[in-house]
Chains A and B, each alone.
With several copies, the nearest count.
Chain A
């Protein structure tokens, strides 16, 4: 039986549902020696503004129980240098390029998206309205239903590329944000971005990160992320891209069963840059064991009926 792992995000066809999460895979090219970029479902590159950004002074990360907090501050080369220096090579490598688009203003989101639309080789635009690590823009839009709608509508008008707002988990009712995104013309939503978090060094009474606050990612957040993906997938008809602490095929499947059409892997890629082939093999194995021909058949197949007693 030929097993088909492909999934569709609107008009975009991916050979498999595994996408490298933004900020966790550089511009993709950093990994060209350890991973076959064309074998990934997609590569979502680090968040880009119009211009270069320096980011926060280090320390920028701290490990936490089963997780990590980052406050990179969106260091980046800006969309123009990306289009010139990185995109051609990513295309050459056969990567399906998702670009994580940032902005301090709605206009900036629109401008960056326009540049990417005119460039060749961008598969989709992920709107980062959920970065907890910058002063203006980002999460300010993502924590307001109106802000979300405004950014999405504005970018929608500026591009024919799939528009995928990335939602923050730092809200009371994430499904309402998915709905606002859908209503404003989004082709899909992705979630979760990181949870606002901090660690204090009790010996010095000072923060561990220069930025004080950062975003929590990794396995620690997975059970919350799965819940949020499930809530969103029940609320909207557009595809949901799920992420948060995925480390193996079981985790990826958990998100897909909860309703994710595709998934992103972030932190786990740091722990094991060869995670991709392992997860793909695990998905394949699961499909074989469960006699699944098309992986897309399991999207949303979670059955909330209580479990049969474990002790039976």
Chain B
């Protein structure tokens, strides 16, 4: 199904912290097609001095009583111009929202377990993934690392879906202190190879570490990468990442159409 471009209205903007917010956009038609791990390209619709759209994972798909999508949300973290504007957005503002784009995660079914690994705003794709896993009855865990207690969001959402939570913070203010890969590594020690699918999203060094851990424990691993994207449709070749897939020597592929979700074992990390 081709992506569509919705002139969406900001329905709500919930600020979670000084850097994070959740923006609700009236892009039901995009939500209706979105699979976990896919993204949208967003741009303020009115007189913005930014030119290009920016990529965002679809965080939640909001639904009415009948389960029909009514809106989507984005989990936004301030990083620069557009993300600042999304942080400050007021209800009523317009956002052009193009999607869904990219390859989704591959959900697994029991007896496989699904372990999600999120770093910071890398939590974004996992709300929809957790929902989809729950609806299939797949057992799921979320390893969730953040800078501090103040930046751990939506834990209740995952708890409600029956996801086992393992939290780490850099400052030790909640859960284990340090990187999220440490508890992941330990927990994988007790799992037979090939029984666990690992889904990761977060900063690339974290993704590389997770992919390494997964490989050592011989588990499958899908990572979602965040390269700078100019178009999201394969048109500009800006978003490339080096992969090792099959016979050819390592080469650049466009992460917007070959990804953003990749088999972690195939990526050649910088």
A and B touch in the complex (CB under 8 A): yes
Question: 1/0 per position for A13-32, CB-CB distance to B under 8 A?
Answer: 00000000001111000110
Task: Give chain A interface residues in 206-260, CB to chain B under 8 Å.
Answer: 218-219
Q: Which residues from chain B contact A289 at a C-beta distance below 8 Å?
A: none
A273 proximal to B (CB < 8 A) = yes
Contacts of A273 in B (CB 8 A): 5, 98, 231, 233, 235
- Knowing A58-B227, A63-B52, A66-B49, the reply to whether A309 touches B270 (Cβ < 8 A) is yes
Asked whether, in the complex, the Cβ of A271 is within 8 Å of the Cβ of B270, the reply is: no
Asked if B135 is at the interface of the complex by the 8 Å CB criterion, the answer is no
B51 touching A66 by the CB < 8 A rule?
yes
| Residue numbers in A under 8 Å from B43 (CB-CB) | 271
Q: Could you tell me if B237 and A60 are in contact, using CB atoms closer than 8 angstroms?
A: yes
Chain A CB within 10 Å, residue with most, of B3, B51, B238: B51
A10 at the interface (CB under 8 A from B): no
Which residues in window 20-78 of A have CB below 8 A to B?
23-26, 30-31, 33-34, 46, 54-55, 58-63, 65-68, 70, 72, 75
Given contacts A34-B233, A311-B203, contact A70 B98 (CB under 8 A): no
Q: List which A268-312 residues lie within 8 A (CB) of chain B.
A: 269-274, 309-312
Chain A residues with Cβ below 8 Å from B226 are: 311
**Is the pair B240, A60 in contact by a Cβ cutoff of 8 Å?**
yes
Q: Which one of A25, A31, A63, A274 has the highest number of Cβ atoms from chain B below 10 Å of its Cβ? A: A63
Interchain CB contact (< 8 A) of B231 among A33, A65, A270, A274: A270
Given contacts A271-B53, A273-B5, A311-B203, whether A75 and B233 have CB atoms under 8 Å apart is: no
Which residues of the other chain, A, contact B51 by a CB distance below 8 angstroms?
63, 66-68, 218-219, 267, 271
| B66 in contact (CB, < 8 A) | no
Please report whether the interface of chain B is mostly helix, strand, loop or mixed according to DSSP. Answer: loop
Q: Are B3 and A30 in contact (CB under 8 A)?
A: no
**Majority-rule SS of A interface residues:** loop
Measured between beta carbons, the chain A residues less than 8 angstroms from B251 are: 54
Docked CA distance A274–B233 (Å): 12
Q: Is there a chain A Cβ closer than 8 Å to B188's Cβ?
A: no
Nearest residue (CB) in B for A34 is B2
User: Are B237 and A312 touching (Cβ within 8 A)?
Assistant: no
Within 8 A of A (CB), among B251-267: 251-252, 257
Minimum C-beta distance from A230 to chain B (A): 22
Q: Write the chain B residue with the least CB distance to A60.
A: B238
Does B234 contact A54, Cβ atoms closer than 8 Å? no
Q: Is residue B236 contacting chain A, with contact meaning CB distance below 8 A?
A: yes
A75 touches B204 (CB 8 A): no
List the B side residues contacting A218 at CB < 8 Å: 51
Tell me how many residues of B have a C-beta within 8 Å of chain A. 33
Residues of A within 8 A of B98 (CB): 273
The answer to whether B228 touches A30, judged by C-beta atoms less than 8 angstroms apart, is no
Residues of B near A66 (CB, < 8 A) are 49, 51
- A63, B50: Cβ atoms closer than 8 Å: yes
Please indicate the chain A residues that have their CB under 8 angstroms from the CB of B49 in the complex: 65-66
Q: Which of B49, B52, B226, B241 has the most CB of A within 10 A?
A: B52
Q: Which of B42-74 contact A (CB under 8 A)?
A: 43, 49-53
Are A75 and B205 in contact, CB atoms less than 8 angstroms apart?
Answer: no
Cα distance A55–B252 in the bound complex, in angstroms: 8
Query: In the complex, A171→B228 CA distance in Å?
Result: 31
Q: CB-defined interface of B65-87 with A at 8 Å, one 1/0 digit per residue? A: 00000000000000000000000
Contacts of A72 on B, CB cut-off 8 Å? 236-238
**Min CB distance, B50 to chain A, in Å?**
7
Q: Does B239 contact A (CB under 8 A)?
A: yes
Kindly state the separation between the CA atoms of A68 and B226 in the bound complex, as whole angstroms.
Answer: 19
Asked whether A270 and B203 contact (CB < 8 A) given A34-B3, A61-B228, the answer is: no
Is B225 part of the contact surface with A, judged by Cβ < 8 Å?
yes
Q: Which residues on B sit within 8 Å (CB–CB) of A25?
A: 235
CA distance in complex: A46, B2 (Å)? 22
A309 contacts across to B, CB distance below 8 A? 204, 270
Within 8 A of A (CB), among B117-143: none
Question: A267 to chain B: which residues have CB within 8 Å?
Answer: 51
Closest to A25 in B: B235
**Does B162 sit at the interface, judged by CB under 8 A?**
no
Task: Report the minimum CB–CB distance from B230 to chain A (whole Å).
Answer: 5
Q: Please list 19 pairs of residues, one from A and one from B, whose beta carbons are closer than 8 Å in the complex, sorted by A's number.
A: A23-B236, A24-B236, A26-B233, A30-B257, A31-B233, A33-B3, A58-B227, A66-B49, A68-B51, A75-B237, A75-B252, A218-B51, A271-B52, A271-B53, A272-B5, A273-B98, A311-B203, A312-B204, A312-B205
Q: Which A residues are closer than 8 A to B by beta carbons? A: 23-26, 30-31, 33-34, 46, 54-55, 58-63, 65-68, 70, 72, 75, 218-219, 267, 269-274, 309-312
Q: Closest 6 interchain pairs by CB?
A: A30-B234, A33-B2, A270-B231, A61-B238, A311-B204, A309-B270
Q: Other than the known A63-B50, A63-B52, what 5 A-B pairs have Cβ atoms closer than 8 Å?
A: A24-B236, A30-B233, A218-B51, A273-B231, A274-B5
**CB within 8 Å of A: which residues of B?**
2-3, 5, 43, 49-53, 96, 98, 203-205, 225-228, 230-231, 233-241, 251-252, 257, 270
